[in-house]
Amino acid sequence: MDRVELTEQQKKARRSRSVALAIVLAVLAVLFYVVTIIKVGPGIFNRPM
């Protein structure tokens, strides 16, 4: 069974895309967390169940 082998350049490009995506996701997670606190306020954890 033949499998597609990526060239070195393609592997390098994929790594670059993966790292960029990881950074973007991490930044978004932090931003959404901070905005939630700002929008809802410190009382976010103090809600009736």
Partner 1 sequence: MAMINEHDALTAPASVAGVEGDAGDFFALLKPRVMSLVVFTALVGMLMAPGEIHPVIGFIAILAIAVGGGASGALNMWYDADIDLMMGRTAKRPIPAGRISAETTLAFGLFLSVFSVATLGLMVNWLSAGLLAFTIFFYAVVYTMWLKRSTPQNIVIGGAAGAFPPIIGWACVTNSISLESIALFAIIFLWTPAHFWALALFKSEDYGRAGVPMLPNVAGERTTKNQIVLYAVLTAISGIVPAVMGFAGLVYGGVAAVFGAAFIWYSLKVWRMPDGDKKMIPAKKMFAYSLLYLFVIFTALLVDALAPKLMGLVA
> CB 33 → partner 1: shortest distance, Å?
11
Residue pointed to by tokens 């393609």: 10
For residues 41 and 48, which CB has a smaller minimum distance to partner 1 in the complex?
A: 41
CA 19 to chain centre: 10
> CB 47 → partner 1: shortest distance, Å?
19
For residues 2 and 49, which CB has a smaller minimum distance to partner 1 in the complex?
A: 2
The token duo for 9 is: 């350049």
> CB 42 → partner 1: shortest distance, Å?
14
| R_g (Cα) of the chain, nearest Å | 20
